Amino acid sequence: MESKTFKSILIYFNNETIHLSETINSYALQDFDCDGIEEFSLMESRVDEILGERAYSGGDIPELLLDEVEEATRGQEELTFKYFFFEENFEERASEFVFFIKDNFPDLSLTVVDQEYEDWNSYWRQFYAPIDVSENIEVVPEWMKENRPAKRPFPVYIYPGMGFGTGNHETTFLCLKLYDEVSDKFISGMNAFDFGCGSGILGIAAIKKSQMNVRFCDIDRKALDNCLQNLELNFPDQDLSGTELILRERLTLDKKFNLIFANILAPVLKSEKETILSSMKENSYLIVSGILNGQVDEVLNEYLSLKMIKVLSKGDWSAILFGNQK
């Protein structure tokens, strides 16, 4: 890396503008080749203040305590996303992104920060820690793979920092949680479809726990590159001949699936409804997310042909488990 600096652009969202964050994340990655996106985490001192004597000096924070921290900070005035630019032509891409935000979203406040590149690794790694999803599944940053014993039977290892899904966001966490609750319905050789796969974290979990054949699909070629990277990280010596990676523009409806993940935005769940429904086998399951809590009813109304099994919520987001069992 020739550059000795990198840029991070901080965009501040409040309760009235948070619904724009997913749209802006998509623009950042697809139109401006952003090199990473991170939702701003609470500083350790603030976490300690909330947890008091139960604060952890190191290691993984249990999910129940994370929920308590989240509840204590719900309603806070701002949530910040950081958009990182550090690869080739990073200054030009960052400037164009800033201009785009100011021109199209003038009500959003942003800050541009120049930082020394040599601080990059230590800087962005501080925002990642293993995530306990359930008794079976955890999500672990790749640099901990060799030095940290797995604490769950099915660890999913991820290269974080690319903005394609790391398990930190509520929507990914909720999808994994719902999958784990029905994972005993699937056996080796069944088919899963990770539609809007991003990093591939959901399909990777289905391969790990249920030995399913997975089709990964996304509109963004960079997402598929990151997905492939994560597949190689999790299954270095495994035959994945039943695995496919397909750009959305090349997708054909030539196969049906026992399980479909669709962690995409609510408007896309509507526009892609026919593709999703026509891809379901009989007695199959569909897990959808990317849904703000206030959008649950409209998504349920779009998928009335399916049985709603469960709605799970975390923070401002919800996920829905559907089935088409007779």
Same domain as 143, residue 110: no
The per-residue pLDDT for 89 is 86
The per-residue pLDDT for 44 is 44
Residue where a domain stops, chosen among 65, 96, 125: 125
Cα 249 to Cα 117: distance, rounded to the nearest angstrom = 36
Task: Kindly report the CATH number assigned to the domain that includes residue 28.
Answer: 3.30.70.2170
The per-residue pLDDT for 223 is 85
Same domain as 169, residue 105: no
Q: C-alpha 219: how far from its chain's center?
A: 15
Q: Using CB atoms within 10 A of its CB, is residue 184 exposed (0-12), middle (13-18) or buried (19+)?
A: exposed
Q: How do residues 281-310 score in pLDDT, each as one tens digit?
A: 999 999 999 888 889 999 999 999 999 999
Q: Please, which residues bridge with residue 310 across strands?
A: 321
Same domain as 310, residue 169: yes
The per-residue pLDDT for 40 is 60
The per-residue pLDDT for 121 is 61
Low-confidence ranges of the chain (pLDDT < 50): 1-3, 41-47, 49-50, 54-63, 65-66, 69, 73, 75-77
Instruction: Kindly state the helix (H) or strand (E) to which residue 221 belongs, with its residue range.
Output: helix 221-234
Residue where a domain stops, chosen among 103, 125, 147: 125
The per-residue pLDDT for 97 is 94
Structure tokens at 123: 């800087």
**Sign of CA pseudo-dihedral 19, 177, 132, 48:** positive
Backbone dihedral angles phi then psi of residue 210, each to the nearest 5 degrees: -115, 0
Same domain as 190, residue 154: yes
Cα 215 to Cα 191: distance, rounded to the nearest angstrom = 8
Q: How do residues 95-112 score in pLDDT, each as one tens digit?
A: 999 999 999 999 898 888
Same domain as 135, residue 103: no
The per-residue pLDDT for 50 is 44
Cα 97 to Cα 13: distance, rounded to the nearest angstrom = 16
Q: How do residues 247-264 score in pLDDT, each as one tens digit?
A: 999 999 999 999 999 998
Number of domains in the chain: 2
Same domain as 316, residue 201: yes
Same domain as 65, residue 103: yes
The answer to whether 130 touches 160, Cβ cutoff 8 Å, is no
**Which amino acid is present at 55?**
A
Same domain as 166, residue 75: no
The answer to whether 259 touches 285, Cβ cutoff 8 Å, is yes
Structure tokens at 300: 């349920």
The per-residue pLDDT for 166 is 63
Structure tokens at 140: 């672990």
For residue 158, the enclosing domain spans 131-323
Same domain as 98, residue 27: yes
What b-and-e string marks burial along 233-255, b requiring 16 or more CB atoms within 10 Å of the CB?
ebeeeeeeeebebbeeeebeeee
Cα 58 to Cα 280: distance, rounded to the nearest angstrom = 44
The per-residue pLDDT for 287 is 98
Contacts of 85 (CB under 8 A, 6+ apart): 6, 7, 8, 9, 34, 35, 91, 93, 94, 97
Task: Kindly report the CATH number assigned to the domain that includes residue 230.
Answer: 3.40.50.150
Contacts of 4 (CB under 8 A, 6+ apart): 116, 117, 118
232 conformational bin, left if phi > 0, alpha if psi -120 to 50, beta if neither:
alpha
Same domain as 44, residue 144: no
**E-state strands within the chain:** 5-13, 36-39, 79-85, 109-116, 131-132, 137-141, 154-158, 191-195, 213-218, 244-247, 257-263, 280-292, 307-314, 317-323
